[in-house]
Structure 1
Amino acid sequence: MVNKDQVKGVAKQAKGSVKEAVGKVTGNSKTEVSGKADKVEGKVQKTVGDAKEKVKKAL
């Protein structure tokens, strides 16, 4: 089963990828860095969701 942290994390990673690509194409380093930060934040959020699922399954 998938929880909301996993879904939000994956969505944030996708948003970050798009922002990073737009930043690269437009030469806007601020947007590119913001996209990278969103990707990292999304990975962390998904990892938290994965951990919650493991705990839930263990109980």
Structure 2
Amino acid sequence: MPHNWRELGQPAKARRRTLQAPQRSLLILVVQLELARQLLLHIAGYRRLVVRIVQHTVENSV
């Protein structure tokens, strides 16, 4: 069912595409947020690793 009168004259495929556009952009946003979250987790993991290595080398050099 079309949401507004403008969509009435459009074929079903075009109407479906216009309805999916906001959902698609929301999906892209969610994917980008998930990728950013994973990247931050990796960075945090690498930071912990570097801190551990530095502590280890400092303890062994004394």
How high is the TM-score relative to the length of structure 1? 0.51
Q: Which has the higher contact order (CA 8 A, sep 6+)?
A: 1
Tell which structure's C-alpha radius of gyration is larger: 2
Structural RMSD (CA):
1.7
| Unmatched segments (≥5 aa) in structure 2 | 1-26
Query: Percent identity among equivalent residues?
Result: 9
| Unmatched segments (≥5 aa) in structure 1 | 1-25
Number of matched pairs: 34
| 1:1-59 deviation line (CA, Å, top 9, x unaligned) | xxxxxxxxxxxxxxxxxxxxxxxxx8511111000011111111110000000011112
Divergent runs of 4+, >4 A: none
Correspondent of 2:40 among 37, 42, 48: 37
